[in-house]
Amino acid sequence: MDFKDYYQLMDVERSASQDEIKRAYRKLARKYHPDVSKEADAEERFKEVGEAYEVLKDPEKRAAYDELGANWKGGQDFNPPPGWDQGFEFHGGGYTERDPEQFSDFFESLFGSSFAGGGGGQAQRKGAGYSMRGEDAYAKAVIELEDAYQGATRAITLRHAELGPDGRPEVKNRTLNVKIPKGIRQSQHIRLAGQGNPGHSGGEAGDLYLEIEFNAHPYYRVEGGDVYLDLPIAPWEAALGATVTAPTPGGNVELKIPAGSASGKKMRLKGRGIPSSSAGDLYVLLQVALPPAKSDEARDLYKQMEQKMAFNPRAALGV
């Protein structure tokens, strides 16, 4: 898909203030409104201008778009890199005068369809006027797999945007000490009450929802509540059987290898996956590792095996 230059669509400079963007939108919305415009492409231009305004009017979306878009030019093939939005707190509200399905694939590739429309805050009566609850915010939190086994408290730094004195969004950091509950799984959410977007006219703040993601681990793979480990074993351990020490995120265990095991054999350790009321399992996949033939003695041993064992690993293939 092509990269969309929202500033060009709005006919404003990248340095434009929020007030300038608002004025540009009102002008273009009047010009291309399908009910009054005589332009041939009025409806399509109206949609494009509305989509551009949805991003540029919102400090968080605009800051993220600016950060990603600095290295892209119109007409280039565009695919946002994985994790490009890491740490940004995007709110769930948005422009509500159009069907969110009218947003382009480009928009949804950046922000997802859940940000394309819908309300956010709730008005509440307070004194002689109304207060508005702040919208909920959403961000990702990357933790270690071991945190899900033991539980932990982690300092998580999030980026959010605020309007600066010049009317442009400024990206700032804030750090929260977050309690990671034991047993949490990938893609689950932690709700932090009152840590979302601020309310208006004295209204309470919204909540912050952190979507959990595990850091890539050098040993383990995670699927739901189950954990997978590739465990190297020596040829004699595979052939004769042995008891070996195997690591798990919850600590080392002694694992009995059956005689005659081959590479790819799967062994299940019940309940040693991510802990919870219905704990996952840990699956060990055996991988026979060959000792290197780096010395004369090692090469002689391999030659003796070749002569004495008469082993053809391709016999099952008929060759």
Residue 239 sits in a domain of what CATH number?
A: 2.60.260.20
| Structure tokens that stand for 297 in this block | 């003695």
The verdict on residue 313 lying in a domain is yes
* Res. 267: pLDDT tops 90: yes
Per mean pLDDT, which range of 123-132, 177-186, 296-305 is the poorest? Answer: 123-132
Cβ(256)–Cβ(243) under 8 Å?
yes
| pLDDT confidence tier of residue 77, bands split at 50, 70 and 90 | low
Question: Please, which residues have CB within 8 angstroms of residue 206's CB and are 6 or more apart in sequence?
Answer: 91, 120, 121, 133, 134, 135, 136, 137, 194, 196, 197, 199
CA gap 157, 145 in Å, rounded: 19
- Whether 103 is in a domain gets the answer no
Tell me the C-alpha to C-alpha distance, in Å, between residue 215 and each of 131, 156, 190, 212, 305: 40, 14, 17, 10, 43
Taking a C-beta distance cutoff of 8 angstroms, is the pair 161, 171 a contact?
Answer: yes
Residues 6+ apart with CB under 8 A from 30: 36
DSSP 3-state of 62: helix
Indicate whether 238 belongs to any domain. yes
**Residue 295 maps to a domain:** yes
Cβ contact 4:74 at 8 Å: yes
pLDDT tier for residue 87 given thresholds of 50, 70 and 90: low
Lowest mean pLDDT among 8-12, 87-91, 179-183, 275-279: 87-91
- Domain with 232, as residue range(s), is 220-317
Note whether residue 157 is domain-resident.
no
For residue 105, pLDDT beyond 70: no
pTM reported for the whole predicted model: 0.62
Q: What is the pLDDT of residues 110-155, one digit of tens each?
A: 665 444 444 444 445 444 456 678 888 888 889 999 999 999 999 9
Count: domains in the chain? 1
Res. 97: pLDDT tops 60: no
Q: Is residue 229 part of a domain?
A: yes
Instruction: Identify whether 175 is part of a domain.
Output: no
CA distance 77 to 67: 17
Q: What percent of the chain has pLDDT over 70?
A: 79
- Segment 75-79 shows an average pLDDT of 53
Helix (H) / strand (E) element for 139: namely strand 137-143
User: Band of the pLDDT at 95, cuts 50, 70, 90?
Assistant: very low
Q: What would the pLDDT profile of 58-72 be if each residue is shown by its tens digit?
A: 877 888 788 766 555
Q: Is the pLDDT of residue 200 over 60?
A: yes
Summarize the confidence of residues 196-211 as an average pLDDT: 84
The pLDDT value recorded for residue 183 is: 94
Asked if the model's pLDDT at residue 263 lies above 80, the reply is: yes
Say yes or no to pLDDT of 297 above 80.
Answer: yes
Residue position matching structure tokens 């071991």: 146
Residue 104 lies in a domain: no
Q: What rounded mean pLDDT belongs to the chain?
A: 82
